[in-house]
Amino acid sequence: MKYVVLIRHGESYTNRNGILSSELNRYRLTEEGIEQARFTGEQLKGLKFDGIITSPVLRAVETANIINQYLNLEIKTDERAIESDFGEYNGKRIVDIPDKSRDELGMESFESQQKRMVDLINSFKGNYIVVSHAFPIKCAISYYLDLCEEESFGIDIRHASMSIINSETGKILSVGSLLLSRRIKSLFSD
């Protein structure tokens, strides 16, 4: 990809209930999440993209479909954009998970998520929207900023926010933004 717009899904019932889940078809967007996705779609309306790539997890697919109401693009599902693998903690409440590292908990590593997200970005030509999840997006951004996991803790990826990367130059143009500047919009104009 030349430019990639990484979008976190809108608020879902996993977020509202403090649950970690990579289940494909269990948790939908909340009404707030639907509105967040619509707002993001409005921000992207009229801009030019080659397509939308989405995680296969329902909350991401729903977000991609809502955003696409404003763009009318082809949507492709790609496993590399999927939520973190939470191991035995999948479906558990965040407050019930021991305070240990991802490795100690048997969860997918930061490096694994970083590798698959960067591989996804590098495997398409053109300008794409990728709808994914907070931690995989944070991992991709960290790659381009050359940050390790601990150094990435301050990156905040809000619901339906947009993080934009020029993957050809490795430059981060926006992190967790809900609004697009005129400068950013000009990159995706005719």
The pairing of strands 162-166 and 3-8 is antiparallel
- 133 noted as active-site residue: yes
Give the tokens for residue 1. Answer: 């990809």
| Catalytic residue (choose from 133, 140, 161, 184) | 133
Helices (H), the chain: 13-17, 31-44, 58-68, 102-105, 110-122, 134-145, 182-187
How many Cα atoms occupy the beta-carbon half-sphere of 28 within 13 Å? 6
For 72, 113, 128, the CA distances from 145, given in Å and listed in that order, are: 32, 15, 20
Question: Among 44, 47, 48, 45, which Cα is nearest to 7's?
Answer: 44
Residue 159 catalytic?
no
Exactly one of 1, 6, 8, 9 is catalytic; name it: 9
Residues identified as active-site: 9, 133
